[in-house]
Structure 1
């Protein structure tokens, strides 16, 4: 039995559930939109790991029956608090229930897509960049600063510069232009991350276990995810990766303990490959719809594989 922990209103979670249905793979949905209302758990830890059961509307699942788990946590805006409790009490209850669920997910013995620990590096983009470099990726020159003069000097050195968030909070990647330079003194109030602009074409790589799905993105936008806001077009097509780049993608996913990851690359006009970051909970629906690449099917098969998939991942992790 597969456990899906996510919000049914989330389109990626909905696609995973639909793919499991289409494949005939049994699963239970722990709807995080309503959790902990209508849900419960009775779990205790022994030397061999957690034991017990999860409960949802009309179902109960023994932890020993879980062959794989897909987890996609929601933000507060996607959650419904219990209505039979005062607001502060309901919020505290949800926090305690979330902590219990997170602890359980970390210790499940089956394959989990993904455990929280694997995605923590994404909360610090500069730290993750160090891990990417160690894994064999080229990363762009980067400056994190609250010093306006340092930012101006970085811009003067590299000519074309982009800026984005330092944390895991999503931000729109923008070019540093005259408008931004005109208010650069505000940088003293909080740090920002600047990177030398890398020309070329974006390639998003989704890893699913040892499988790779590379998608080439063609767009004139600085951040193709928001190209429509600038009136620009986006097209996508499956891509082939050089062997060394494919190996680096598998290596960083293993090192971060991510069974499923979204890796953002760019191929320069000279044929060099640069890596920007690794997303531990990628919204792959956008890419699957555009290209027809069977990412959700690969995920379903990984989750259904259970113990066999776990053995395969353990063997892959031991590879140099």
Structure 2
């Protein structure tokens, strides 16, 4: 019988802590799996007997039978930690073998996912997000991704010298790059910057004036939207993620067609969860910026308790289906 709810997350992850507590308060016994426990403190076994596929994941606390997993929340898996005594080439071999074995588990499970890892990876690509959103009828900013300084200069001039620079990916933890690189307005003072465009692809977008910014969270078949009053402070004008600046946040009701397009964008990627950033312009037009297929939602619910995302997420995992 499929009864287990599995949450794959790092050891210290606030969203997971909150949801585990809530599920337990409802009488459920969700399982937290920390992938960094593999292979030193956890193991995997898969058995094909010629007809049936079965197996288990073994941790220090319990054995998780694969055929009993009803739903999985793929929250924040940690990197595998292998023995420090192994030579570097053997460490790489162990990680690759372990990764293939566990992917064999994940890719073979017949259960509900929030969300399936390959779908999360595909949906993380920003250029494809913009293309998909535009095809669904959402307005997206004029965008240029280039390594040509002349093209960057021409785009700057075509957008009335009002553009922003954004990274294509978020820097990984423990890298030499700052963890957060904010959306940066480009002005005439940055003209020498365009020469650096030759070193790597750079993403530029037209700057779009904002009335408010919107965080749209899709959970199953439900949409939860918060409006972020970023224009009330100069430091959050271009990027509201300056968390040290107090910013007013409240509930927002999307037009039905915009909400449906956000759901369709999520479903088109095979996701059951996503967080998207949109702009509401002073003229009342909605503009899509980007999607995070595994984004944070707890800070929104804490700021706007009436957006009951924890309950919606738990309901999907309990049912093993979208609500």
Please confirm whether the aligned pair reaches a TM-score higher than 0.5, indicating the same fold: yes
Aligned length: 304
Residue number in structure 1 paired with 2:260: 247
Residue number in structure 2 paired with 1:114: 115
Are the equivalent residues in 1 in contact too, given 2:8–2:77 (CA < 8 A)? no
Q: CA deviation at 1:15?
A: 2.4
Instruction: Find the aligned partners of 1:44 and 1:139 in 2 and give their Cα distance.
Output: 48
Are the equivalent residues in 2 in contact too, given 1:125–1:168 (CA < 8 A)? no
- In structure 1, runs of 5+ residues without a counterpart are 313-320
Q: CA deviation at 1:119?
A: 1.9
Q: Deviations over 1:86-135 (max 9, x none)?
A: 45534542343233323322332111111122123344311221111112
Out of 184, 188, 191, the residue aligned to residue 174 of structure 1 is: 184
Q: Deviations over 1:5-33 (max 9, x none)?
A: 11121222222322222322221111123
Residue number in structure 2 paired with 1:60: 63
Deviates more, 1:135-144 or 1:49-58: 49-58
Residue number in structure 1 paired with 2:308: 294
Q: Secondary structure at the match of 1:3?
A: strand
Aligned ranges 1:88-99 → 2 under 5 Å: 88-99=89-100
| Bigger share in helix | 1
Change (3 A) 1:63 1:173: same
Residue number in structure 2 paired with 1:210: 221
TM-score w.r.t. length of structure 2: 0.86
Instruction: Find the aligned partners of 1:156 and 1:139 in 2 and give their Cα distance.
Output: 19
Instruction: Find the aligned partners of 2:218 and 2:109 in 1 and give their Cα distance.
Output: 21
Residue number in structure 2 paired with 1:305: 319
Residue number in structure 1 paired with 2:164: 162
Deviates more, 1:145-154 or 1:177-186: 177-186
Residue number in structure 2 paired with 1:196: 206
Q: CA deviation at 1:67?
A: 1.2
Are the equivalent residues in 1 in contact too, given 2:217–2:273 (CA < 8 A)? yes
Are the equivalent residues in 2 in contact too, given 1:123–1:168 (CA < 8 A)? no
Are the equivalent residues in 1 in contact too, given 2:74–2:117 (CA < 8 A)? no
Q: Deviations over 1:148-176 (max 9, x none)?
A: 11111111111311111223656421111
- In structure 2, runs of 5+ residues without a counterpart are 172-179
Q: CA deviation at 1:80?
A: 4.2
Change (3 A) 1:103 1:268: farther
